[in-house]
Amino acid sequence: MNTYSMNELKRIKMMLLSNEQPSFEAIDSAIGELEMMKMEKEQLHYAEGHNFTAACRNFTIEIFTSV
């Protein structure tokens, strides 16, 4: 997973774990980033069990999109 994706996921995680209520703009931005990552994931084809990083990325995206 590239550094940009990791940084975005960390930012979203910190926003969700924060005691402060996130703004609608922050939530909209996070949803947009997750949708972009999901589209990128769908465009990439990995062999089953071949790429552990891709599997972790897919799992993380699924968890964050379910929140």
Domain count, the chain: 1
- Judge whether residue 7 has pLDDT over 70: yes
Q: Other C-beta atoms within 10 Å of 44: how many?
A: 11
- Judge whether residue 49 has pLDDT over 60: no
**CB of 5 within 8 A of CB of 36?**
no
Domain span holding position 52: 3-66
| Model pLDDT, residue 45 | 59
Query: What is the distance between the alpha carbons of residues 25 and 50, in angstroms, rounded to a whole number?
Result: 37
Written as one letter, the residue type at 15 is: M
Q: Which two tokens stand for residue 31?
A: 């949803």
| Model pLDDT, residue 61 | 80
Q: Tell me what the mean pLDDT of segment 28-51 comes to.
A: 73
| Model pLDDT, residue 6 | 80
Could you tell me the pLDDT band of residue 19, with boundaries at 50, 70 and 90?
confident
Phi, psi (5° rounding) for residue 22? -70, 150
